[in-house]
Structure 1
Amino acid sequence: MPVFPEEPEIHESLPGPGVPFPRESDAQAPRTPASGSATPATPSTVTAAPAPVPGQRPAPGRSAPPGAERPGPKPRPAGIPKPGPRRPAPAAPQAAVQQLTATAAQALDRADEAVDRLLESGRDPGTVLVLTVGEPHPWQRHELSFGEERYWAQLAEGGDVFYADAALTRPARREVVVLVVNGGPADRAAKAFTEARGRAAELLVVCGNAGPAAAAAAAAASRPVTA
């Protein structure tokens, strides 16, 4: 019967000096990752960001120039004074009055003489207006013979002496007005005087009797016809 050689007995190696003997609990305890260690990331699908589209670059902001100062606060407007009581506009000075004594029959001749003296003194014909209380002046009849349109055009043009009735309703104002009292009732003459004075800018010449108001105004003015 064959005899097999006896296997050598294997002994566990003893730990070297300074090495502790292994404990049974160490061999059985499962290994756990240390706290704070990085956990391996689970691979996931990552979407790549789209590439930026090239375009114009934004202009860099400009800083304020050195030494520039911010504007200070705007000055407050001064207090607006409260409006006081309104004063009435000064009345326009009234024209001086010159009265020439004449009867109703003489009034036209005295008016023509007055107009001649005014023109000889240098007055422009377009600054003179002649108004009659009674019958129309012969020059008025002559101008009306060419038609009313042409007649009233002369008033607007202001190039010559204009003759009209004292009851003129159209606006007419000239430097000198000659009022001819050649007839009509006394109240019409007085009213004509008031209206004629409003049309005269400098001088009103009254030929004849236009009532007490005209006489008083002439006495207060005591201004002769410009010669």
Structure 2
Amino acid sequence: MPLIPEEPQIHESVPGPRAVPAAGRPAMTPRPVPGPRPAPTRSGSPGPRSGPVPSPRAPRAAEVGAQAATPQIQLIPASAQGALDAADEAVDLLLDTGRSPGEVLVLTTGEAHPWAAHELSFGEASYWAQHDAAEDVFYAAADADRISTRPVVVVAVNGGSDAAVAGALPAAMARAGALLIVCGDPQRVNALLPASA
């Protein structure tokens, strides 16, 4: 005798048209339908990522070694009024992609970054102590003398004369170990970057 396949059972918890119980028949309570279970994650291994996949980070100074004497340069188009915001977004992206805060230096060619202005209100000694500790992102004027080299330097071209910007860009390049990010007007920046860049 041939076997007749049974019709699949449809549970009430499955979306779709609802059947109304016949008169005199009690309504059945819906049971949960088992679904796929998430794969177990081992401790120490990353789980699935949500959100956009970050772009690959620039090599760290130790990874670069002697292979590159000049840092990689990236230009982020921004007006003078939007350069600080563009620099802040670049810093956020750097930190989101795995850079340590102590590896990042942000320089401004015009008005001081609000963080720098706030920290300087507590005095120069505590401000420069934070720089020397190199535990967090540090914000300074591009023409500051005491700034040391960090793997990543972000320059916000948020004002300043052409001469000041032209001097700030090579100085920032010299302080950048692996990556120099310049946030500013592309025409102005390209005209003021040294020919060797």
| TM range, smaller chain | 0.5 to 0.7
Letter of the 1:128 partner, please give it. Answer: V
What count of residue pairs does the alignment treat as equivalent?
Answer: 129
Q: TM-score by structure 2 length? A: 0.61
Alignment of structure 1 residues 1-227 onto 2, 5 Å: 93-209=69-185, 210-214=189-193
Letter of the 2:156 partner, please give it. Answer: V
Runs of 4+ aligned residues of structure 1 deviating over 6 Å after TM superposition are 215-218
* Structure 1 residue 126: Cα displacement: 0.3
Using the aligned pairs only, state the percent identity. 52
Distance 1:194 1:104, change over 3 A: same
Separation in 2, partners of 1:140, 1:171: 13
Q: Is the CA contact (8 Å cut-off) linking 1:177 and 1:203 kept in structure 2?
A: yes
Separation in 1, partners of 2:78, 2:159: 11
- Any unmatched runs of 5+ in structure 1? 1-89, 219-227
Letter of the 1:195 partner, please give it. Answer: A
Distance 1:211 1:185, change over 3 A: farther
Separation in 2, partners of 1:174, 1:187: 24
* Structure 1 residue 216: Cα displacement: 6.7
Choose 1 or 2 for highest CA Rg.
1
* Structure 1 residue 213: Cα displacement: 4.8
Q: Is the CA contact (8 Å cut-off) linking 2:170 and 2:194 kept in structure 1?
A: no
Letter of the 2:163 partner, please give it. Answer: D
The root-mean-square deviation of aligned C-alpha atoms, in Å, is 2.1
Q: TM-score by structure 1 length? A: 0.53
* Structure 1 residue 214: Cα displacement: 3.2
Q: Is the CA contact (8 Å cut-off) linking 1:129 and 1:176 kept in structure 2?
A: yes
Q: Is the CA contact (8 Å cut-off) linking 2:165 and 2:192 kept in structure 1?
A: no
Separation in 1, partners of 2:134, 2:69: 23
Q: Is the CA contact (8 Å cut-off) linking 2:120 and 2:127 kept in structure 1?
A: yes
Q: Deviations over 1:77-115 (max 9, x none)?
A: xxxxxxxxxxxxx89611010001111001011000000
